[in-house]
Amino acid sequence: MPKIIISGKKVVKILCREFGFYFVSQKGSHVKLRKKTGNQEIITIIPLHKELAPGTLRGVLDLAEIDRDKFLKKSNLEDLR
């Protein structure tokens, strides 16, 4: 699988615009996003690094309960599948 080069700032924008998350708070270089679905609340933390490590992006998507392929499709990074 090829490495996805994406910044934390871009991940925040994609999660907010395409997946319904909203900004909760920021502490230093980390942003907390939240999404409410029915009676469930999903919270994820994104570091605002220039380039997220593959494991970090995977962890963010796992916390956000978003499939990697779905994220790539919504973020126009499909060619990296």
Question: For the residues of 30-55, what is the DSSP string, one character each?
Answer: EEEEEEEETTEEEEEEEE--SS--HH
Per-residue pLDDT of 32-55, as tens digits, reads 999 998 899 999 999 999 999 989
The reported pLDDT for the residue numbered 81 is 44
- Residue 30, in any domain of the structure: yes
CA 37 to chain centre: 17
Indicate the pLDDT class of residue 2, thresholds 50, 70 and 90: low
Sheet arrangement for strand 22-27: 22-27, 30-37, 40-47
- 81: Cβ contacts below 8 Å, ≥ 6 apart: 1, 69, 72
Indicate the pLDDT class of residue 62, thresholds 50, 70 and 90: very high
Domain coverage including residue 32:
8-80
Indicate the pLDDT class of residue 80, thresholds 50, 70 and 90: very low
Whether the Cβ atoms of residue 5 and residue 51 lie closer than 8 Å to each other? yes
- Residue 68, in any domain of the structure: yes
For the domain that residue 50 is a member of, what is the CATH number? 3.30.920
